[in-house]
A and B are shown apart, each in its own frame.
Chain A
Amino acid sequence: MGAGGPQPLLAVDGVTLQYKTREHLVTATYRVSFDVHPSDRFVLLGPSGCGKSTLLKAVGGYLKPVEGTIRLKGAEVARPGPDRVMVFQEFDQLLPWKTVKENVAFALEASGRMRGREAQERAMACIEKVNLVRFADSLPHTLSGGMKQRVAIARGMAMEPDILLMDEPFAALDALTRRKMQDELMQLWEGTRFTVLFVTHSIPEAVRIGNRILLLSPHPGQVKAELNSDGSDAEDPSGRRLSDRIHSMLFSDGETEPEAAAHG
């Protein structure tokens, strides 16, 4: 955050988020700050209850911070918009009444990015990138979970947003598919070097995908650390692996939450 350094693409500054349930006003995060730079694969990592998904929704513009600011390219985020495309965990994020190709093209047309042939061509190009050309005319309900998530990613990439927001996109997949999707995401990133803000509760996933990992502690979410990763789960000078360091930092207070470590 040093002055005079490169300008961040996304600046989250002292953000406190609250949401209401039927009975309580829950503080999801407390004064969280971080910067995301262009081409970052920035991971928000923490156990359930650390407000990472809520934080992502706030960046998406679905939720207003009660304190602090979220700025994208210097402008404060006020509402959802196509400059920040979300990829959700849920498989029902595709419009079930549109084919794969129509889903991607619809995003482009509805947001006013492009229309007609241009949108069709961009849509096909992105579907090709996620290897779904054979399924371009299929309806979502005929696809497997992994394929649906690939369509959602293709749709996000087609929009060419300033930042792609991914909310545990692989968490509902089986372990083999998840592993494959992680590799595919990395390949896609190698191709275009888009900026991603990625939420997960899986330490191995964070280590594999992120180049920068923000650790959040739960109830309410607060920043615990910000670490670098080269994707190889490297050992630090003292011989400890990155994932072990993260694990001990997240569970240092003796509280064990096996869920956070279980998913690979």
Chain B
Amino acid sequence: MASRPPARPEYVREQVDEHDFGVVNKPLTLWERVYGNTVVRKASILVVLALVWQAYAMHLGNALLLPTFTDTLHSFLDRVGSGELLRKSWVSIKVLLQGYAIGLVLALVITMLAIATRIGNDLLETLTAMFNPLPAIALLPVALIWFGLGSGSIIFVLVHAVLWPIALATHSGFLGVSSTLRMVGRNYGLAGFAYVRRILIPAAFPSILSGLKIGWAFAWRTLIAAELVFGTTSGSGGLGWFIYENKNVLDIPAVFAGLFTVILIGLLVENLIFRTIEQRTVRRWGMHF
């Protein structure tokens, strides 16, 4: 048998005034604030990595296998100072941007076809299923036959590297736009390209942005690898060629400096360009996952 709960009197309380009780906002300690800063945490990881590198390379004492961190840094600063690394980076980036832009436009065209018609949808699905798993570098021999030695072939493999991941991400982004937003757009009488541009693209932007990031990473890798494989484009090579050349003359610190530059540019693009875009768009809109 359930017993009755005890009878209790009611009460109503006056609210305590804000000034009458103690701490509402307690400041964080210095350590909490330093540790809470992502940049500080990540930078300290980098410092530790550099120290480990330096210690191990000094212990090894073989500059041909693994130059020390300081040697690499010297070589890097030398080559940057002489303008060589900057020139080579620029050659690489220029080619990359061309390939990236062409790939992006093609991806948008294919995805728009895919959402407009059923056959376009099948086309996109079949093509991405076929080509997405195919490493761009594997197309290089064919590209050489078709476009010859020069930036044409590199741009061709770059387009291949960029097109499919971006198309895939954009398409799944479009499909994921909520039916409410679609109905809202159509309610205003939007149709065709205006509907895609004003509703679908912004609504799918989180997904498109991650496609752009993946596309960038693929393109950057592919480019360096392609340059390593067949090096120079019309006389002045890019970063991949720089690495290859210095390996041939056994200037290993310069090889590491080249690798370092590849990483540095990758980080800069990710943290400056994409991070900024992300903060101005999907984060501001509260749409990030």
Contacts and interface: CB of A to CB of B under 8 A. Distances in A.
Nearest to A79: B186
A111 B191 CA distance: 11
B189 A112 contact: yes
Contact of B202 (A84, A86, A95): A95
Given A92-B178, A95-B181, A141-B287, 20 more contacts: A57-B183, A79-B186, A80-B187, A84-B187, A85-B187, A86-B183, A86-B187, A88-B184, A93-B181, A95-B184, A96-B203, A107-B188, A110-B185, A110-B188, A110-B189, A110-B190, A139-B284, A139-B286, A140-B286, A141-B285
A110 B194 CA distance: 9
B180 A88 contact: yes
B283 to A, nearest CB: 10
Contact of B183 (A60, A106, A139): A60
A81 interface: yes
13 contacts: A62-B186, A82-B188, A82-B189, A88-B180, A96-B285, A97-B202, A97-B205, A97-B281, A97-B287, A106-B188, A110-B198, A139-B285, A141-B285
Contacts of B189: 80-82, 110-112
Classify chain B's interface size: 20 to 34
Interface in B190-238: 190, 194, 198-199, 202-203, 205
A107 B199 CA distance: 12
Q: Give the secondary structure class of B's interface.
A: helix
Contacts of B281: 97
Contacts of B186: 62, 79-80
Contacts of A84: 187
Interface of B: 178, 180-181, 183-190, 194, 198-199, 202-203, 205, 281, 284-287
Given A92-B178, A97-B205, A112-B189, A86 B285 contact: no
Contact of B286 (A62, A90, A141): A141
Contacts of A62: 183, 186
A111 B188 CA distance: 5
B202 to A, nearest CB: 5
B188 A90 contact: no
A141 B287 CA distance: 8
A142 interface: yes
Nearest to B190: A110
A244 to B, nearest CB: 33
Contacts of B194: 110
Interface string A44-67: 000000000000010010100000
A88 B186 CA distance: 14
Given A62-B186, A97-B285, A92 B205 contact: no
Nearest to B205: A97
- Kindly list the 7 A-B residue pairs having the minimum CB-CB distance in the complex, ordered from nearest: A141-B286, A110-B188, A111-B188, A80-B186, A90-B180, A96-B285, A97-B285
Nearest to A62: B183
B286 A60 contact: no
Interface string A91-114: 011011100000000110011100
Which of A62, A84, A142 counts the most B-chain CB atoms under 10 A from its CB?
A62
Given A97-B281, A139-B286, A92 B181 contact: yes
B178 A96 contact: no
Nearest to A81: B189
A79 B284 CA distance: 34
A121 B253 CA distance: 65
Interface in A20-62: 57, 60, 62
Nearest to B179: A90
